[in-house]
Structure 1
Amino acid sequence: VPTWIDAARLYRLVIAKLDDVAVWITGRTQRGDLSFYLYIILAVTVIAPISVMFFPSNVDDSTISLPNAAFFGDWMLTGHPIYLVAAAVMIVAAIAAIRAKRRFWAVLLVSTTGYGLAAIFAFQGSPDLALTQVLVESVLTVAMVLGLRVLPPEIPKTQEKHDNQWARALLAISFGFTMMWVAATAMASRVADPISLAMPDLSYNEGGGTNIVNVTLVDMRAWDTFGEITVLAAVATGVASLVFIAERERKRRSITDVATGSVGHYNIANSAMNDTEVQSFANFFKVRRQPWIVAGATMAPERRSIIFEVITRLIFHAIIMVSLYLLIAGHNLPGGGFAGGLLAGIAFAIRYLAGGRYELEQSFRAPAGVILGSGLAVAAIAGLVPLFFGGEVFQAYDVEVLLPFFGHVHFASAVVFDIGVYLVVIGLVLDVLRSLGAEVDARYEVETRDRTEAEQRMTAARASAMTPGGHSDD
């Protein structure tokens, strides 16, 4: 290196320029704008596949050119007109969701697209996928509606240029057609038999079940499922940690310590009920009888619905029984631990919506974190036990036993793993209900009480100032 070159100074100069470039790039790409991030993600997702489709590399006689496979394959619009009806409903709901002015209606319309997809699965002959899609969409709808309570009801109008709206619409349509093209091309380009052809035999002979979907999840790819429920537990813990700032599990109060009708009061003047209706509700619920739900009496009269409480009392236990049936029968019939856990979670969501946060506490006493951990522990034990019998991790066994009154019983050890999945899903839903539901309720009541007390103090101060001996600014 020549003596006239200062290596240290040159190094600092290069690093400084790199820092300037990094700041410039960061300032233009990572600016906290979600819409901009979506622009970049969708644009790359559209451009990358199209570039491969139109400019394939290393195409020889044994490889199907992607454009040819897509354009000259045997295309069929639909196998039945009902698919077109479901697709039309989904498209209309998606467009209406974009045009919706209230967040609640936007959530319902988005959920409609999910239920439409479930209908397509059902008509396609995939009951497991249809059942799971319906349950997932229902739980997500409840979670989103609970989350909307901390947001303004109206969607704010954005001051966006007309050209930007057309650009966003064009990008969205391009993304949809690109994904459709990629899926069709991938299926049309297949040159070998799919491995799924062997799954029916593997499911029945190796997994001991006739439900290919469930056996695949809890047996053939149990490692993947275990990783997925671990992620679910981590996500639930993270959400709860963000919401529960002080502590995740508060000390539960006894129902007898909660004053009757003290939970959930709001301003009657701003509600759809007048004072007479509220008083009639209060008188009705003062009748000495066994309550329809455990904590219903703690709710304010204007928050209660006798019809909802009666229906909840009638269907809750039936839903729990059906969820257990899905868990046990899922190895041979549509269902499984995931679907059963979601259905049980919906049952607890109904209890919460009918009776408030104290009803949720009474319906399931164990902390959600304990349920999540127990589910992971059961799934892990189900995977480790085969090692003690000379098997492999997550290896499944079939047991044929003859029991009194039950007769011949076929038991697959993978059901134990499915029980772990069942518990994890229940714990996840309970965590969502307690974080986005019960915790938000508690904070709202504290804020309302503090605001009411402050208004009362201000009113008392004004009254004191107007009394003889006091003074008034007027």
Structure 2
Amino acid sequence: MFVLILSFAFVAALLPGVASLLGRRVFYVAALVPTGAFIWGVWAYSQIATTGPLIEQAAWVPQLGLTLGLRFDGFAFLMLSLVAGIGVLVFVYAGSYFHTEPIIGRFAATLLLFAGSMLGLVLSDNLLALFMFWELTSITSYLLISIEDNKAAARTGALQALLMTGMGGLAMLGGFVLLGEAADTYSMAELLARPPSGSVVNVALLLVLIGAFTKSAQVPFHSWLPRAMNAPTPVSSYLHSATMVTAGVYLVARFTPAFAEYSLWRPLVITFGLTTMLLGAYRSLRQHDLKLLLAYGTISQLGLMMLLFGVGTKESIFAGCTLLLAHGIFKAALFMLVGIIDHQTHTRDLRVLGGLHTQWPVVAVTAGIVAASMAGIPPLFGFLAKEEALAALGETGFAWGALVLLGVVVGSSLTVAYSARFVWGAFGPRQVTMIRDQDYVGNEAVGEQAPKPSNMFLAPVFVLAALTVVFGVLPWLVDPMIARAYESLVGKSTDHHLALWHGFGQALALSAVAIGAGCALFWRRKRIEELQESMPRVPSAQRGYDRTVKGLLEVADAVTGFVQHGSLPIYLGVILLTMIVLPGVPLLRDSVMPDLWFADSPMQVVVGFIMVVCACAAAVARRRFAAVILVGAVGYGMAALFVMQGAPDLAITQLLIETLGVAVFVLAFRHLPADFVRPKLRGSQVARIAVAALAGLFIFGFTLFAIGARTEPSISGEYLDKAYSEGGGHNVVNVIVVDFRGFDTMGEIVVLAVAALGVAAIVRAKRAPTTAEAESSATEVEV
């Protein structure tokens, strides 16, 4: 499994270079990787029936006891089928969607990296590894949405998706850490087998749910998904239908069997899921852009999936697995259809589309099939999933079960209505009134002149449409996969099976009610639109996001304007005062004064006195160059002290550093006046003097106290012991410089080289002529 995931990254690294040779055919090369992953998944799926889940582990951070664990079970195969299976079709689709765009290689590589990240996410057994892949999907999603970086809308949508999912990811990481510490393990399998208890667990679960809700676009964190529709359609048909947006659903599905009975889990997941389903379906009816219509429809379907897994009964989990697969199939096909329409007609506005059913009759029938599957019309796979959901919710036994069931029926009715609106808007015949949008101005249906798409362009859609028909009519083909996924989540096998006909019952009756109500809503669509327009505007998540970001930027500007107003002395003063106060207070309170001595030799006293005199002279010098020389003299005096203490290597280093410092100062001061400006002594000047004096005293005192704070023996003894045995030299200093501290020596060599270059630049630099010299030279030329 590790090799499988790494293969995505390896091939992705090669694609940009290959794209210059193959052009858009590079997508067909990229499709080979998810094809191989799908074939491996089928083989591994045949093995786990007898051997149990496949597990691979590798040491990640052994010092912390962390291992990178991967686990392949029935639910992982269900997700792998969506990631790899639909991934193959998306790459084939992209080969016809793009032509000669310069972004082809970059786009193919990023899309393949996303597929590998998503595969790692669904196979991860370690919580921290899952978070790593989780964030990789967010980052690659950002790159994919903004792939056409010349479009401001794409950049804005990508940033919003990254900020919202990234915020949720950080919250989820906090929850993972709390859960891992409470359970004393970061293995998801062990955690779910023995879930911890305590109040901290509720906090952890709340953080995990925030991450899941943001990733799967649950209200009120859903606004990033419609904005992400500015991405190319292959991105939407892959990330925003079957893979990335289902990551949160996947996480909730994994955690529900273990944590459903905790006080926060079930109420929160059901409330957010039902609200999301209803709001997403309602907003979908208001959209004129086909892609936005599907985006809000996806939000609605994600809410239903979240609700089913959140309920946590055996029947609802089985229904959730069925809907997860069915949704991935029909929603990917619908997004691909929108991309084809946009590619051929250059618009997605259903107000100007029309006549496509006469130009593309086969495509119109295919669109009707996949949209009917989304609406839950028999005998399609979507109908089976919807009926399983209604049956499961009708048998919860909860006090609020009837209310939830009613909400799902209402949401299903809205789903039927916006599904019919999608098909009729794109393919239905009608007289188009004068509409002006960014791509079209006219009073004729755009579809009447649309060229027919190629068979290769349509092939992925036909495959997905065929699957939704076959799995609906012959559910026994997919029933074992759903049952195995259910078993891996619940830990028990089930005797429940998918079937097209379960007899007359509550679920079938509710399906009929939802279909009938949805058809009635579509029939009265004009009246519904008028009612929607007349209703007062409800708080918008998008407006909330925009205001939040605007508020943060205003606060940031205010804070920046207060603390960074351009005064370098104030910046330096704040830094020095922080350095003095934070370590200085505990130092005065708890430190012990070490034993001190005055000097080791009279020469040290002489050199020290000269250093003090030079430092004081530098502080009062009037000319800049003189101040630089005096400061350099202080540094050279320090080098002399190092020599007296028997540390020639330190002395050389000090000489080099001081030389470099003097050279840099001289280079900088060449463009400044020769003399310092001496302002009158004011309060600000006194404050600067005080801060400088305090900083000097602090550094002096800190150095003294540091001598007495040693708690371990000096490392010098270890150097002496190992100089010959490990370094092979009798000269300890040479062994230290060359072996034990070789990188320090390399740094000193770099300092020496830079200092030499600086001195050479000063020597070779030509002094700028004075005004008098320039005038004299000009006079000579005139003469």
TM-score category by the smaller chain? 0.3 to 0.5
Q: Which has the larger radius of gyration?
A: 2
With structure 2 as the length reference, what TM-score do the two structures score? 0.29
The structure carrying a bigger helix percent of its residues is: 2
Larger RCO: 1 or 2 (CA < 8 Å, sep 6+): 1
With structure 1 as the length reference, what TM-score do the two structures score? 0.45
